[in-house]
């Protein structure tokens, strides 16, 4: 392990539809991220949430 090594964090992401029809779906994923990657991901999510939806 080099000096740049950082312990990884596990992020579990679940997405699903809320439709009341036969098109229900669900996707689950687990990601191993460095702390820097996790912070970048969080910044992108917050930026998306602050952008008005059309």
Cα separation of 29 and 8, whole Å? 16
Mean pLDDT calculated for residue range 4-10:
80
Average pLDDT, the chain: 83
Mean pLDDT calculated for residue range 17-25:
78
Residue 20 has pLDDT above 70, yes or no: yes
pTM: 0.54
Residue 52 has pLDDT above 80, yes or no: no
Map residue 48 onto helix, strand or coil.
helix
> In terms of Cα–Cα distance, which of 3, 4, 24 is closest to 15?
24
Cα separation of 48 and 51, whole Å? 5
Mean pLDDT calculated for residue range 36-49:
89
Give the model's pLDDT for residue 17.
84
């Amino acid at each position: 392990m080099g000096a740049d090594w950082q312990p990884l964090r596990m992020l579990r992401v679940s997405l699903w539809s809320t439709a009341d029809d036969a098109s229900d779906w669900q996707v689950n994923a687990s990601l191993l991220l460095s702390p820097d990657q996790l912070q970048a991901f969080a910044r992108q999510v917050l930026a998306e949430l602050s952008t008005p939806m059309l």
